[in-house]
Amino acid sequence: MPKVRSSNIGYPRIGEKREWKKSLESYWANTTSQEELLASLKEIRLTNIQKQKDAGIDLIPVGDFSLYDHVLDTAVSFGLVPDRFEYNGGKVDLDTYFAVARGTDSAVASEMTKWYNTNYHYIVPEITQAPTTLVHNRVLELYNEAKAELDIETKPVILGPVSFVKLSKNQTGLSEKDLIRSFVPLYAELLKELEASHVAWVQVDEPFLNGEVTEADLDLLQEVYAQLDVAAPKVNLLLQTYFEAVDDYEAIVNLPVQGIGLDFVHDEGKSLQQVAKYGLPSGKILAAGIIDGRNIWKADLQEVKHIVDQLSVLVGEGQLILQPSCSLLHVPVTVSLEEELPEFLKAGISFADEKLEELVALADVANDVRDEEILEASAEAVRSLNESSSRNNEDVRALLEEIGDSVPTRAVEATERLRLQQEKYQFPLLPTTTIGSFPQTKEVRQKRLKWRKGELESAQYEQFIRDEIDKWIKIQEDLDIDVLVHGEFERTDMVEFFGEKLAGFQFTKFGWVQSYGSRCVKPPVIYGDVAFIEPMTVKETAYAQRQTNRPVKGMLTGPVTIFNWSFPRTDISEGQVVNQIALALRKEVEELEKEGINLIQVDEPAIREGLPLKKEKTEAYLKQSVEAFRLSTITVQPETQIHTHMCYSDFEAIIESIDALDADVISIETSRSHGELISAFEDFTYNKGIGLGVYDIHSPRVPAQEEIDRNISRALSVLDPTLFWINPDCGLKTRKEKETVEALRVMVAAAKQAREQL
């Protein structure tokens, strides 16, 4: 056996050119049969395995591939299908599986939520009773498939029982602990079957270990894994963690499992210190996640080799496995297809396939089968990217230095600002507005596509955008909305639009990652110093303002959201990158103000999702986020009203930071949260404007006025009516024109009625 082996935790499902997405969607659209779907997915799955084999990876995962989501896969393997779907036991069929994920005409889909602090969303299992049967040993089937079809020995990957239950909705009445215990016999059965097929290693993911873990959790882990060990003693379990260092190394490393997997990238050096301090019990395997599985930068392999060298000394011969820090699900497939990237940048990027090459190179060097010189090229690529002019913009540096550590603050405090703004605008009580976008119709998207392809002249395209703006300004005036927007027709996506206009961003052609189901996103790459080049939104916004006497609100995406939805560079700190974005946006804010746009909304829908997994890191994150937001908005006149928008409502934990943003008006989602949000504001005196979303834009249904009335009166029972705004709960981009106009009409009627009753 080699001294050091290479392994992968998970491989992207989507295929080099999103073949996976296309197969699924054409099946859902009834254009392909189930057989065709299964055949094409099988091909992708086997290709992925073969690719990893060819790359030289020793331990190749199976079971990481999914037809939708791996948490849902785990749920259905135990027959956990919510009662509202037709299911009578046995292996869950494909259409029922998709129904749980996507809903049907008669049954709503299971909820979807974020997978830890990533942009991947999983289907939340609903467990109404303790499971009784392992209805399908999916990983065994996949293991056998790889063996039969490719003659490749693989490593089944499963989601461990503790994390699985913690990720689920427990509706059983059992305590979490007892529910977890009820899964143990089924996991034992699954492992016994793998054992009977002579599976050597099983990767059991327990990612909850990277968040806040209690003593009770650790005791339960001990109990659960001891039972699994007894049940299937010949299968080696590798307990896998990711996204952070673990806090309880000593307890975890002594669990009755044969190996542990730790993150050596997002750990501030902790994992190595832990191994050095406490060692590794003899005979155990350490799977070291030394290549960043979540970001796309090439590693300086000479530097990583230092870690490998230290680990090789600390753990015994044959006990070390090198792998990515987490599943490669979170990065695109291969950079080799990117023909338009500048060479210096392409050389510095690694997607999944390139990351596997990096791992194999490190393992080969550690095993003395290849010469250390092969690591030099990566160091050189990293160096030349760092030294490129794109990363050394003197103006940006000077600007950042100028700000130093001072917390940016507006010249006049909020209450006084609001008074000045009210004096200027004379808004009625309960002013009405929207969140920014209006329907992006097929026509809008087609025109943009044609223009991008050069099939439509810029002048014509811009005229088209102006016509759309005209139309919607008129609609908003007819509806009697108080603060208008231009509608965002020129934007594809709220991050991409700005990224394309700022220095320091690069867009790839095939750099897709799965976000949820078949939906993929292509995060921009922040590779250089971010800088303002020229006005980005002024033309359309100022045009809209010229068409009406009512105020038009400018619309920008905030620095934290742009950062969180990108692949940021890592050679400088997160705070520096966020602040660079903030300073570039500040210029845009100033340009808008110069053009007479005195209401400016800076959207930050992603602040909350970037919250670190560990409590000890949240304060710094929130401080950094608040400062960046303020940096981008403080220089305006007191009369200029800064709005912000967030599309979630569980504010409890971050309400103080929301307040500290010091935005004059915040609009948030509440229509789906049944008043929970209001309680956050009840216990906290929030003295700035608040727009509570009074209807849910995620559904095409036009709300009844009574529903909106109810939402308004609930809010007014808690909030000062002079601070309260009325708006839908998010942008209207995905809605149809007719339903949008009708819903807004109802909203304005409700606002007027409420006004009269005040």
CB of 23 to ligand GLN, least distance (A): 28
CA distances from 399 to 385, 393, 394, 517 (A): 22, 10, 9, 42
Judged by beta carbon, residue 10 or residue 605, the one nearer ligand GLN is 605
423 labeled binding residue: no
Task: Report the greatest alpha carbon distance in the chain.
Answer: 82
Question: Using CA atoms, how far apart are residues 579 and 586, in angstroms rounded to an integer?
Answer: 10
114 labeled binding residue: yes
Nearest residue by C-beta to Zn ion? Answer: 647
326 labeled binding residue: no
Q: What angle do CA 92, 97, 101 make, to 5 degrees?
A: 155
Should residue 239 be labelled a site residue for Zn ion when binding is judged by CB under 5 A? no
Judged by beta carbon, residue 645 or residue 688, the one nearer ligand GLN is 645
Q: What angle do CA 581, 584, 589 make, to 5 degrees?
A: 120
CB of 648 to Zn ion, least distance (A): 8
Q: Which entry of ligand GLN, Zn ion, none binds 61, CB below 5 to 8 A by partner kind?
A: none
Determine the interface stretch with ligand GLN among 156-164, 279-287, 472-480, 729-737 (rule: CB under 6 A). Answer: 729-737
Which of the residues 330, 486, 643, 698 is marked catalytic? 698
Determine the interface stretch with ligand GLN among 44-52, 396-404, 433-441, 617-625 (rule: CB under 6 A). Answer: 433-441
Determine the interface stretch with ligand GLN among 190-198, 431-439, 461-469, 573-581 (rule: CB under 6 A). Answer: 431-439
- By CB under 6 A, the count of residues binding ligand GLN is 13
β-strand pairing of 525-531 with 519-521: unpaired
21 labeled binding residue: yes
CB of 693 to Zn ion, least distance (A): 8
Question: Using CA atoms, how far apart are residues 697 and 745, in angstroms rounded to an integer?
Answer: 14
Helical packing angle, 94-102 and 34-55, nearest 10°: 80
Binding ligand GLN by CB under 6 A: which of 179, 335, 365, 435? 435
Q: Which entry of Zn ion, ligand GLN, none binds 13, CB below 5 to 8 A by partner kind?
A: none
Should residue 647 be labelled a site residue for ligand GLN when binding is judged by CB under 6 A? yes
Determine the interface stretch with ligand GLN among 259-267, 435-443, 468-476, 618-626 (rule: CB under 6 A). Answer: 435-443
Instruction: Report yes or no: 224 and 180 within 8 Å, Cβ to Cβ.
Output: yes
Should residue 645 be labelled a site residue for ligand GLN when binding is judged by CB under 6 A? yes
Binding ligand GLN by CB under 6 A: which of 255, 494, 552, 743? 494
CB of 550 to ligand GLN, least distance (A): 18
In this structure, is the dihedral angle defined by the CA atoms of residues 565, 298, 248 and 188, taken in order, positive or negative? positive
Q: Which entry of Zn ion, ligand GLN, none binds 728, CB below 5 to 8 A by partner kind?
A: none
452 labeled binding residue: no
Binding ligand GLN by CB under 6 A: which of 13, 522, 733, 735? 733
CB of 657 to Zn ion, least distance (A): 18
Q: Which residues of 458-492 are buried (b: 16+ CB within 10 A; e: fewer)?
A: eeebeebbbebbeebbebbeebebbbbbbbbbbbe
Q: Which entry of ligand GLN, Zn ion, none binds 680, CB below 5 to 8 A by partner kind?
A: none
603 labeled binding residue: yes
Question: Using CA atoms, how far apart are residues 116 and 490, in angstroms rounded to an integer?
Answer: 33
β-strand pairing of 567-568 with 525-531: parallel
Binding ligand GLN by CB under 6 A: which of 49, 555, 585, 678? 555
Question: Using CA atoms, how far apart are residues 229 and 227, in angstroms rounded to an integer?
Answer: 5
Q: Which entry of Zn ion, ligand GLN, none binds 754, CB below 5 to 8 A by partner kind?
A: none
Should residue 320 be labelled a site residue for Zn ion when binding is judged by CB under 5 A? no
- The dihedral formed by the CA atoms of 127, 128, 129 and 131, expressed in degrees to the nearest 10: -30
Should residue 647 be labelled a site residue for Zn ion when binding is judged by CB under 5 A? yes
| Residue 654 DSSP label | G
CB of 140 to ligand GLN, least distance (A): 41
Binding ligand GLN by CB under 6 A: which of 213, 220, 730, 747? 730
Residues 6+ away with beta carbon under 8 Å from 553: 433, 436, 483, 484, 485, 597, 599, 600, 601, 643
CB of 316 to ligand GLN, least distance (A): 51
Judged by beta carbon, residue 162 or residue 743, the one nearer Zn ion is 743
Question: Using CA atoms, how far apart are residues 660 and 738, in angstroms rounded to an integer?
Answer: 38
Question: Using CA atoms, how far apart are residues 289 and 346, in angstroms rounded to an integer?
Answer: 23
Instruction: Report yes or no: 257 and 239 within 8 Å, Cβ to Cβ.
Output: yes
Respond yes or no: is residue 698 known to be catalytic.
yes
658 labeled binding residue: no
Q: 594-613: which residues touch ligand GLN (CB under 6 A)?
A: 603, 605
Q: Which three-class secondary structure state does DSSP give residue 25?
A: helix
Q: Which residues of 101-124 are buried (b: 16+ CB within 10 A; e: fewer)?
A: bbeeeeeebbebeebbbbbbbbbb
- By CB under 5 A, the count of residues binding Zn ion is 3
Binding Zn ion by CB under 5 A: which of 661, 730, 744, 746? 730
CA distances from 377 to 348, 372, 442 (A): 10, 11, 47
Should residue 469 be labelled a site residue for ligand GLN when binding is judged by CB under 6 A? no
Q: Which entry of Zn ion, ligand GLN, none binds 733, CB below 5 to 8 A by partner kind?
A: ligand GLN
Amino acid identity of residue 418, one-letter, is: L
Q: Which entry of ligand GLN, Zn ion, none binds 157, CB below 5 to 8 A by partner kind?
A: none
198 labeled binding residue: no
CA distances from 118 to 159, 242, 615 (A): 17, 11, 17
742 labeled binding residue: no
488 labeled binding residue: yes
Question: Using CA atoms, how far apart are residues 129 and 108, in angstroms rounded to an integer?
Answer: 20
Judged by beta carbon, residue 562 or residue 647, the one nearer Zn ion is 647
Binding ligand GLN by CB under 6 A: which of 119, 334, 437, 624? 437
Judged by beta carbon, residue 328 or residue 677, the one nearer Zn ion is 677
Should residue 4 be labelled a site residue for Zn ion when binding is judged by CB under 5 A? no
CA distances from 264 to 245, 293, 642 (A): 7, 11, 41
CB of 454 to Zn ion, least distance (A): 33
CB of 731 to Zn ion, least distance (A): 6
Written as one string, the DSSP assignment of 380-425 is HHHHHHHHSGGG--HHHHHHHHHHTTPPP--SS-HHHHHHHHHHHH
Q: Which entry of Zn ion, ligand GLN, none binds 555, CB below 5 to 8 A by partner kind?
A: ligand GLN
CA distances from 204 to 33, 73, 225, 519, 529 (A): 34, 14, 10, 26, 40
Minimal CA–CA distance to 244: which of 218, 274, 221, 219? Answer: 274
Question: Using CA atoms, how far apart are residues 273 and 271, in angstroms rounded to an integer?
Answer: 5
Instruction: Report yes or no: 651 and 680 within 8 Å, Cβ to Cβ.
Output: yes
Q: Which entry of Zn ion, ligand GLN, none binds 524, CB below 5 to 8 A by partner kind?
A: none
Q: Which three-class secondary structure state does DSSP give residue 209?
A: helix
Q: Which entry of ligand GLN, Zn ion, none binds 304, CB below 5 to 8 A by partner kind?
A: none
Judged by beta carbon, residue 610 or residue 731, the one nearer ligand GLN is 731
Q: Please give the span between the terminal C-alpha atoms of the chain, in angstroms, as a whole number.
A: 79
Nearest residue by C-beta to ligand GLN? Answer: 731
Q: 553-612: which residues touch Zn ion (CB under 5 A)?
A: 605
Should residue 436 be labelled a site residue for ligand GLN when binding is judged by CB under 6 A? yes
SS3 of 29-44: the string is CCCCCHHHHHHHHHHH
**Which residues are part of a known binding site for L-homocysteine?**
435-437, 488, 603
**Which residues are part of a known binding site for 5-methyltetrahydropteroyltri-L-glutamate?**
18-21, 114, 519-520, 565, 609
**Which residues are part of a known binding site for L-methionine?**
435-437, 488, 603
Q: Interface with Zn ion by CB under 5 A: which residues? A: 605, 647, 730
**Which residues are part of a known binding site for Zn(2+)?**
645, 647, 669, 730
Residues annotated as catalytic (active site), given as ranges: 698
Q: Interface with ligand GLN by CB under 6 A: which residues? A: 435-437, 488, 494, 555, 603, 605, 645, 647, 730-731, 733
